[in-house]
Amino acid sequence: MEYIVETNKLTKRFGKEYAVEALDLKIPKGEIYGFLGPNGAGKTTTIRMLLGLMRPTLGSIQIFGKDLTRERIDILKKVGSLVENPSYYPHLTAYENLEALRKIYGVPKKRIDEVLKIVRLSDVRNKKVKGFSLGMKQRLGIAASLLNNPELLILDEPTNGLDPSGIIEIRNLIKRLATEEGMTILISSHLLSEIDQIANHVGIISKGKMIFQDSIEVMRRQSQNKILLKVNDCKMAWNFLISNGIEADFSLESISLLDRKDENVAMVVRLLVENGFSIYRVEEEKRTLEDTFLQMTTEERAI
């Protein structure tokens, strides 16, 4: 798999406090990568380091296969970003705001019309930004981040403070950028429900450490309902099931079966009873993706 962004043991320390600790971030090319974690987990600090706005204490950052410390200017020419609130001149129009940035980037004038069309603000191009809704301002911020035709787009909490219709607008826009423009997108959020609807890959950070990184499908599989068996000797029963080729997980209090088919659960129960185990209870554990996320981050914070 080709990675657009790779960090190795990326660390940022403020005094004795670690904001980010030994982070190995891997963002596959052409994917929407959801960077997820509670507020204060280290997401914005990581993003600032990726954009060269903050120097790491330790570790390295590679973007497009190049080292950020050595080739920062070349790399950032191909990166667009929206970190925290977008900056704009309220007394200028949407077009005038983008024109000011266009001159800095040195891109053709037609690019302004292209990005306004992408974010669906063409009809208000000559309206002053002070009259924009929060959602329109966010879309203008994304338009500004697209001016230089980036290959990598980094969005830090882009739906923060938006109403439900504004959230849907931004969500649909991000999906279109990935499918129609072929961009690799890193989007940070503290809301799993948001990431679940747009991301292909997810990285979960808690207290500055990466606690999960894989495809959203792998995370969904972890969230599937399980059948829990309360048995008189869980460890011995688990060993017995494993030796008979039955997939199961073991904890001190129960055995969990990954296969929830009724006939297979019945077969496991019969097998255990016939071999002298007492079954006290059979129950289904219902878990949502949100439950998995909360469990991961709560466990990490409790350590």
What is the structure's pLDDT at 190? Answer: 86
Give buried/exposed letters for 224-263 (b at 16+ CB in 10 A, else e): eebbbbebeebeebbebbeeeebebeeeeebbbbeeeeee
What is the structure's pLDDT at 303? Answer: 45
What number of other Cβ atoms are within 10 A of residue 201's Cβ? 21
- Among all chains, which residue has been given the structure tokens 């992408």? 118
- Cβ-proximal residues to 181 (8 Å cutoff; 6+ apart), any chain: 118, 146
What is the structure's pLDDT at 273? Answer: 93
Q: Tell the burial category of 271 from Cβ atoms under 10 Å away from its Cβ (0-12, 13-18, 19+).
A: middle
Higher per-residue confidence, 85 vs 107: 107
- d(C-alpha 153, C-alpha 32), whole Å: 9
The arithmetic mean of pLDDT across residues 66-85, rounded, is: 91
Please state, rounded to an integer, the average pLDDT across all residues of the chain: 89
The arithmetic mean of pLDDT across residues 50-70, rounded, is: 95
Give this prediction's pTM: 0.78
Higher per-residue confidence, 252 vs 239: 239
What is the structure's pLDDT at 202? Answer: 94
What is the structure's pLDDT at 220? Answer: 77
Degrees, nearest 5: CA angle 154-197-124: 60
In the predicted structure, residue 101 carries a pLDDT above the cut 80: yes
pLDDT band at 46 (very low <50, low <70, confident <90, very high): very high
pLDDT digits (tens, 9 = 90+) for 228-241: 899 998 889 999 99
- Among all chains, which residue has been given the structure tokens 């410390």? 69
What is the structure's pLDDT at 39? Answer: 85
- d(C-alpha 195, C-alpha 202), whole Å: 8
- d(C-alpha 61, C-alpha 8), whole Å: 7
- d(C-alpha 97, C-alpha 77), whole Å: 19
pLDDT band at 224 (very low <50, low <70, confident <90, very high): low
Share of residues in the chain with pLDDT > 90 (%): 59
pLDDT digits (tens, 9 = 90+) for 143-193: 999 999 999 999 998 888 888 888 898 899 899 899 988 899 999 998 888
Domains of the chain: 3-220 (3.40.50.300), 225-286 (3.30.70)
